[in-house]
Amino acid sequence: MAVAAATTRDLAVAGDLARPSGPSGPSGPVAPSAADADRRAARLEMLLGDPYAPDNPHGLTALFDADTRGRPPEQTHLLLERFGLSAECVPVADGGRLTRADLLARVLRPLFRRDVALGTARGTAPVLAAGPVWAAGSPDRRADTAALLLGGGRVGLVPHGHGRTDSAGPHGSTPYGITARPAPDGGLLLEGRAEAAPDATGARLYVVQARTGPAHSPHSHTAVLLDGERLAPRAVRETGRATSPGRLRLPRTELELHDHAVPHDAFLGPVGEGVPLALRTQQVGHALVPALLVAAADTALRSAVRAAAITVPPGRPHRRLAGVFADILACDSFSGVALRALSLLPAQAQVPAAAVHYLVPALLREDLEALACVLGARRHDRASAHHGALGRLMQALPLAACGPARTGAADGQAVIAPHLRPLAEHSWFTEPEPEPTLFRGGADLPALDFASLAAAGRGDFLAASLSGSAARFAEFRGVGGHTAALAELAQSLVTELHALRARCRALPGPGAGPLPVAAVCALVDRYALVLAAAAVLGVWESQDGADPFLAAPAWPVLALSRIARRLGAPVPPLPQGVEELVHHELVRRCHEHLSYDLDATELAP
């Protein structure tokens, strides 16, 4: 039965959820609970209703209409406020419900299945903008930020200017960005212009990266928290919005400051540590956003399956759908491991998170193009929710994948590249495997501590896991069947890691000159694919048999064969029935309203 609107009773329950109990209860601090997060996710899924129902105010048809009108979906915004989504963005210690990044992803996935832009604005943007506050803010600044977010307010992020020059200003060609100089009282005086990240419109607090040192120094910037209510009139202004129908975009926000005084207690960390702070906290976004794009791809695949069942004869298109399903499971494996590493291995999470940020959106983009081939010209037909969902996601994916600083895949490359040679020399094939809980979605893990995230940790737990998996599978090579194919693929990927090790060891060391850009980009691409494969193997080995499909080797065989082909590595012939088994599960989940991720959660009918 279609859900035309959330009932008063449902909104009342959502209102109860919106009132977090605070950081402590009668028995002490609240522990991270996957079951609690799953209950909230299920409630949000039910409240949002059937995305394909034409009379659902939170469904795809209503969202398409909001795009066409160039206005946000007001009823869905109200529902999210009543649900208390803002509490998911505030740590438990500060009065919210945020305990772990992987649990946050579970709660936000129902929203991302329907609308990437709305999910970004209401779900990920507040977490990523406020991350430096949770990592380095004083207790008073944390309290101010938490109160603002819990009350429905916004925090804006103002990254540094990346060397941009503004030649159109009234004073001629000037650096674009916020600079700071010491104030007599120990604070800073801020000067300059800079554009905030998307979704900062209406923000009351701003996390600003102000330049306090030489432009090319690693200690060039200092992070500060600005109170928008204390800024001069017209210091914050909108710089325009898109007006073309069907391409909803939020207005841009620009700050212009002149000798604006910032007290010392508004500093987020020491002077000169703004860039390292950003590198530490952006790990959360690097892993979180791709995990949520997996949920958006879920809807695109489901729409294609529904449409293909009506319009496409059996054969190659259905094998293409099975391949996309395998890729989604691989992306979910990779992003899920990176999210859990933020809690379990915070000193080593930076590189895998950056690899997820680099690779997962690219794989999903390939998959959307494959789905477009299945649907043909109708993929942009918004008269049909099944067809329009794909075209809408293809438009939204590039901007969402760039993150709040709009840096995109190049950002992931920049994080990974300096680590390739040190990892090849000191980590690969030498360190022990990580704990098995890293690969188990329902495992108990420590709470996420933004302050514990490291910007340059050593170690590569996924490479170690790949080596361990291949060693365990070695006895099955050559015996035939699905497990033997998995063993051959694992060995092929370990061989690739050996080749990467040799090539990365040959890169210039520190002080030996710049890294060769083209060669490094190719190495980053191959390395990220190897890490994704390691995550797939680790997740499959961690299965307890509760889900027969996930416990069987068909999906990792198909997923790893696709990764190996992208690498140009040897791929054994697929055992008979692999694609058929994956496609059968694809259809079953569609008919039974189950998600296409590893959790196979129940969706609104």
Q: Is the pLDDT of residue 561 over 70?
A: yes
Co-location of 511 and 366 in the same domain = yes
Give the pLDDT of residue 160.
Answer: 78
Does any domain span residue 597?
no
Given a contact cutoff of 8 angstroms between Cβ atoms, the answer to whether 88 and 98 are in contact is yes
Binned at pLDDT 50, 70 and 90, residue 11 comes out as very low
Q: pTM of the entire structure?
A: 0.90
Amino acid at 57: P
Q: Establish if 78 belongs to a structural domain.
A: yes
- Token pair listed for 435: 């704990």
Residue with tokens 């000193």: 347
Q: What is the mean pLDDT of residues 380-404?
A: 66
Span of 59-68, 87-96, 332-341, 491-500 with lowest mean pLDDT? 59-68
* 3-state SS class at 223: strand
Distance CA 325, CA 360 (A): 14
CB 95 within 8 A of CB 139: no
DSSP 122: I
Model confidence pLDDT, tens digit, residues 206-219: 999 999 998 788 88
Same domain, 5 and 93: yes
User: Residues with Cβ < 8 Å from 376, sequence gap 6 or more?
Assistant: none
- Rounded CA separation 477/489 (Å): 10
Which percentage of the chain shows pLDDT scores above 70? 85
Q: Which residues of 436-453 are buried (b: 16+ CB within 10 A; e: fewer)?
A: eebbbbeeebebbebeeb
* 395 & 479 share domain: yes
Q: 168 and 76 in one domain?
A: no
Q: Are residues 245 and 330 in the same domain?
A: no
Question: Is 411 contained in some domain?
Answer: yes
Same domain for 240 and 358: no
pLDDT at residue 64, as a whole number? 85
Would you state the pLDDT for residue 197? 85
8 burial (CB, 10 Å; 0-12 / 13-18 / 19+) is exposed
Tokens describing residue 425: 């020399």
- Reading the block at residue 266, the tokens are 């508004």
| Chain-centroid distance, C-alpha 567 | 24
- Are 262 and 255 in contact by the 8 Å Cβ rule? The answer is no
Structural domain ending residue among the three candidates 271, 290, 310: 271
Q: List, in order, residues 6 or more apart from 498 with CB less than 8 Å away.
A: 429
Please tell me whether residues 257 and 400 are part of one structural domain.
Answer: no
Binned at pLDDT 50, 70 and 90, residue 556 comes out as: very high
* Interatomic CA distance for residues 98 and 127, integer angstroms: 9
Instruction: Tell the burial category of 513 from Cβ atoms under 10 Å away from its Cβ (0-12, 13-18, 19+).
Output: exposed
CATH code at position 264: 2.40.110.10
Q: Is residue 598 part of a domain?
A: no
* Residue 255: strand pairing partners: 194, 236
Asked which of 114, 146, 166 is the last residue of a domain, the reply is 114
The pLDDT tens digits for 437-478 are 999 988 899 999 999 999 876 789 999 999 999 999 999 887
Q: Enter the tokens of residue 183.
A: 């104030």
Q: What is the token pair recorded at 46? A: 């039910």
> End-to-end distance of the chain based on CA atoms, in angstroms?
7
- The three-state secondary structure class of 438 is helix
Same domain, yes or no: 265 and 376 = no
| Nearest CA among 24, 17, 583, 23 for reference residue 304 | 583
Within its chain, how far is the Cα of 177 from the centroid?
27
Confidence class of residue 493 from pLDDT cuts 50, 70 and 90?
very high
Going by pLDDT thresholds of 50, 70 and 90, the confidence category of residue 323 is very high
pLDDT at 241: 53
- Indicate the pairing of strand 188-195 with strand 177-182: antiparallel
Whether 440 is covered by a domain: the verdict is no
Tell me, yes or no, whether 126 lies in a domain.
no
Instruction: Give the chain's domain count.
Output: 3
Record the tokens describing residue 155, joined without a space.
């925090």
Q: Are 336 and 254 in a shared domain? A: no
Give the pLDDT mean for 532-550: 97
pLDDT at 14: 43
8 A C-beta contact, residue 487 and residue 476: yes
Q: 211: which strand partners?
A: 179, 221
Tokens 């530490």 belong to 280
Whether the pLDDT of residue 47 is over 80: the answer is yes
Residues 290 and 297: beta-carbon distance below 8 Å? no
Token look-up 């990220």 returns 528
Task: Please indicate, yes or no, whether residues 376 and 468 belong to a single structural domain of this protein.
Answer: yes
- CB distance 453 to 138 below 8 Å: no
* Alpha carbon 471 to chain centroid, angstroms: 31
Percent residues over pLDDT 90 in the chain = 67
- In the numeric block, the tokens 């996390």 are attached to 207
State mean pLDDT over 20-30.
43
Q: Is the pLDDT of residue 430 over 90?
A: yes
**E runs forming strands in 299-427:** none
Nearest-angstrom CA–CA distance, 88 and 94: 11
What residue numbers bound the domain in which 168 lies? 157-211+221-271
CA-only gyration radius of the chain, Å: 24
Token pair recorded at residue 169: 């200003």
Whether the Cβ atoms of residue 578 and residue 482 lie closer than 8 Å to each other: yes
pLDDT of residue 378: 53
Token pair of 173 as six digits: 């060609």
Helical packing angle, 350-375 and 316-344, nearest 10° = 160
**Rounded to whole angstroms, what are the CA distances from 582 to 117, 190, 325, 572, 593?**
30, 57, 8, 18, 16
Provide the pLDDT for residue 402.
Answer: 66
Distance CA 7, CA 474 (A): 56
Same structural domain, 342 and 233: no
Q: Is the pLDDT of residue 381 over 70?
A: no
> What are the tens digits of pLDDT across the range 250-296?
567 899 999 999 999 999 999 999 999 999 999 999 999 999 999 99
DSSP 236: E
Helix (H, G, I), strand (E, B) or coil at 145: helix
Q: Of all residues in the chain, what percent are helix, strand and coil, respectively (each to 5)?
A: 55, 10, 35
Strands (E), 105-200: 155-158, 165-169, 172-175, 177-182, 188-195
Give how far the C-alpha of residue 53 lies from the chain's centroid of Cα atoms, to the nearest Å. 28
At residue 315 the predicted structure's pLDDT band, cuts being 50, 70 and 90, is low
Question: Residue 165 above 50 pLDDT?
Answer: no
Report the candidate in 241, 252, 243 with the shortest Cα–Cα distance to residue 69: 243
Residue 278 covered by a domain: no
- The helix/strand/coil state of 278 is helix
User: Tens digit of pLDDT for each residue in 333-375?
Assistant: 999 999 999 999 999 999 999 999 999 999 999 998 888 887 7
Higher-pLDDT residue of 250 and 522 is 522
Which alpha helices (DSSP H) does 314-349 contain, by range?
A: 316-344
Domain end call among 58, 84, 114? 114
Are 332 and 425 members of one domain?
yes
In a domain, 605, yes or no: no
Residue 44 has pLDDT above 50, yes or no: yes
Strand (E) or helix (H) holding 260:
strand 253-262
pLDDT surpassing 70 at residue 599: yes
pLDDT for res 337: 98
DSSP 436: G
